[in-house]
Amino acid sequence: MNDVVLIDAGGANLGSVRYAFERLGARVSTSADPAVIRAASRVVLPGVGAAAGGMARLRELGLVEVVRGLSQPLLGICLGMQLLYGSSEEGDVECLGLLPGRVSRLVPVDGTDGRPAVRVPHMGWNSLRPIGHSALLDGIDDGAQAYFVHSYAAPMGPATLATATHGADFPAVVGDGRRFGAQFHPERSATVGERLLRNFLSEAIA
Catalytically active residues, by annotation = 78, 185, 187
Note the helical H segments in 23-173: 34-39, 51-60, 64-68, 79-82
DSSP H helix total and E strand total for the chain: 6, 14
77-115 CB burial, b ≥16 within 10 A, e <16: bbbbbbbbbebbebeebebbebbebebeebeebeeeeee
- What's the angle, vertex CA 162, arms to CA 158 and CA 167, rounded to 5? 100
Collapsed DSSP state (helix, strand, coil) of residue 125: strand
The amino acid at residue 95 is C
Nearest to 183 by CA among 121, 138, 115, 134: 121
> Is residue 83 within 8 Å of residue 76, measured between CB atoms?
yes
Task: Write the CA distances from 74 to 79, 81, 86, 199, integer angstroms.
Answer: 14, 10, 16, 13
